[in-house]
Structure 1
């Protein structure tokens, strides 16, 4: 029984089971089925993918093998860390108080009230022909947590790409539709409902501390991955519009190399974004031939055109 003098009710509302697992460094992939997540039990180990079950709506967990335990986030902390109730309260209070403090990160908060991040890790196949055609190696795909998704939902028949906020916290997946007809009707890319897409700078959290010599800005994740294979820092706008948050981040980088898609929309966006950034930093543009995207170029061409401005 939880002691009445400790206010766990508030802490249980503020801290999710997933937050506790992430704080412990538990990175075992979890599979989502409806409102539940399944995976190996972090308490007793093993590799049974159905041993540990989390109810997302109730914030409860249960192990069906090994330790045969279950409960709320309080009981998980006590068992996972071996803490007493007072220590558990202090630990949960620390997690509850952990909020983004930077100006750019805090600007996400109003949108996050209506957007519920999906933090579980999906099982993805990184070795698929579509990625090979993009010249993205399985090693790169695994690093960026990208691959074919075999389940249902809005990612069905898609190449899934894991997304993170500006602080590197996972917030869900985008999907590149593989069905040409569906892509033509509904668009190539699918995003979670109410995703604050215009306040995400894809891959920024991975290179934030190592872009002193500048970076390349592209439209979509494939260009980022191709450039990463060449050790060239890059971020993606996930579109052709530059938001205030993205502008605040990029104007602190020098130089910024814009290499958007070679279609009319990409060319017009290049002019618009360059105009927005030039008062604050040095900006170069790479204009691609009509119909070509950065990931359509060979490694030699990608390296040649970008390193000319960055190194």
Structure 2
């Protein structure tokens, strides 16, 4: 796949306006039905209701500066760049990956494709979720102490975005770089665990970056791993 290949359709379907607003730390918009409304972050006007974001349509419209469109148009307006450059930025910010290939590139064999896929890892994130409740009762119910929650960075995320209202679990690669968040539902919501679009689970062994010595204890789930650490096996 060419380095500069951008799948616009995938980017638009994988990343919501809410996620992009969170990236820019635009938290002053207020909920009004199925919309968010407030001061426009693009032209920084004074109108307190001029900027509208439709959460269902994943689109925005400023009635003052007339800017409107989808996530690509919004990032393009914020960064003062082309839609293509905006898509590339979003793809990088949220680690959106694709297995699609542009028509003009050569076809590869299944063996070559498997080898190529195995070399592609999860890109480190350039942001961290803030405002995490490390002492939420759900963790205690799962047998996780606050000390353990602090070590692993696990807690309820009450901010906006796809992980809102879920217990988030930071996932790091073997170098300790943050590559994703898993979101565990604390009620009967589905899916029980939510992971970012394009995240490659098979490329990461949870907590492997903390391994010391030659012996490794492998368990099934995130919380099982925390309990093993909590029991004194580091």
TM-score w.r.t. length of structure 2: 0.49
* Structure with more contact order per residue of length (Cα contacts < 8 Å, sep ≥ 6): 2
In our comparison, the structure showing a higher alpha carbon Rg is: 1
Question: TM-score, with normalisation over the residues of structure 1?
Answer: 0.38
